[in-house]
């Protein structure tokens, strides 16, 4: 199929959605590091130069996909009912919600883990500015979500909790996906298996300990 340039805003928006959809589908098959602009171009049946008419780089595509995945995650969290109970029960419930919902979103976690080291490179100032405004909006929404569950924290400490969880996702996700050689090592030597990272457990424990620690500082 030959390239037909999108001439209206609606057509350009649809072409961008097609590219983002193709990238999202590819990330269910491969990690961020293996998704190339050439591969994405083949998936959407466009020349690489034509993909670059709609996104300035591979990284710009993936940043916008990160923003879309983040928005979906927050929408999922906001549908959760605010639990009652004593403080410790609510701390544990919040930590469980964050950890389990993230574990169900491998594409989002992979994008977060590549955000600072890969995705925020090879982009223009304009793209970086738009992206950082989007991320700030997500963090603010997560702070509001956290305060609804743990009003005792207040917004300032809730932001510390949210920022900590976000940073832990970025490191725990790739660490929890060891290569084949390490999987073979863990299988062969049970004494080393405890070194394997359980992503959901690390995120949950981090959220619990951080929330408890922040609250304990005022006691």
CATH number, residue 28:
1.10.10.60
For 109-157, give the DSSP string. Answer: HHHHHHIIIIITSS--HHHHHHHHHHHHHHHHHHHHHHHHH-TTTHHHH
The residue range of the domain holding 41 is: 1-55
Asked whether residue 74 falls in the same domain as residue 180, the answer is yes
Cβ(64)–Cβ(123) under 8 Å? no
Asked whether residue 1 falls in the same domain as residue 23, the answer is yes
Which of 55, 74, 94 marks a domain boundary? 55
- Mean pLDDT of all residues in the chain? 91
Asked whether residue 19 falls in the same domain as residue 43, the answer is yes
Asked whether residue 103 falls in the same domain as residue 162, the answer is yes
Cβ(169)–Cβ(102) under 8 Å? yes
Q: How many structural domains are present in the chain?
A: 2
Which of 39, 55, 71 marks a domain boundary? 55
Cβ(116)–Cβ(110) under 8 Å? no
Asked whether residue 85 falls in the same domain as residue 119, the answer is yes
Asked whether residue 149 falls in the same domain as residue 206, the answer is yes
Q: How far apart are CA 67 and CA 130, in angstroms?
A: 10
139-149 tens-digit pLDDT: 999 999 999 99
CATH number, residue 94:
1.10.357.10
156-188 tens-digit pLDDT: 999 999 999 999 999 999 999 988 999 899 899
Model's pTM, two decimal places? 0.88
Longest CA–CA span in the chain (Å) reads 68
Which of 55, 70, 94 marks a domain boundary? 55
Asked whether residue 70 falls in the same domain as residue 102, the answer is yes
Asked whether residue 76 falls in the same domain as residue 42, the answer is no
Cβ(207)–Cβ(98) under 8 Å? yes
């Amino acid at each position: 199929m030959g390239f037909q340039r999108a001439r209206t805003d609606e057509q350009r928006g649809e072409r961008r959605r097609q590219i983002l959809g193709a990238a999202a589908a590819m990330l269910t098959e491969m990690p961020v590091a293996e998704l190339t602009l050439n591969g994405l171009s083949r998936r959407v049946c466009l020349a690489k130069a034509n993909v670059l008419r709609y996104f300035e780089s591979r990284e710009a595509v993936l940043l916008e996909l990160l923003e879309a995945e983040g928005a979906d995650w927050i929408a999922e969290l906001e549908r959760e009912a605010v639990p009652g109970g004593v403080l410790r029960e609510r701390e544990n419930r919040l930590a469980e919600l964050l950890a389990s919902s993230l574990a169900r979103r491998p594409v989002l976690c992979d994008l977060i883990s590549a955000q600072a080291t890969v995705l925020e490179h090879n982009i223009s100032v304009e793209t970086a500015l738009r992206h950082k405004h989007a991320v700030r909006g997500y963090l603010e929404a997560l702070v509001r979500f956290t305060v609804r569950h743990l009003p005792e924290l207040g917004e300032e400490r809730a932001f510390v909790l949210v920022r900590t969880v976000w940073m832990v996702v970025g490191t725990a996700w790739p660490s929890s996906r060891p290569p084949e050689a390490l999987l073979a090592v863990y299988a062969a030597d049970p004494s080393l298996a405890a070194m394997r990272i359980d992503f959901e457990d690390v995120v949950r424990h981090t959220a619990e300990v951080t929330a408890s620690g922040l609250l304990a500082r005022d006691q």
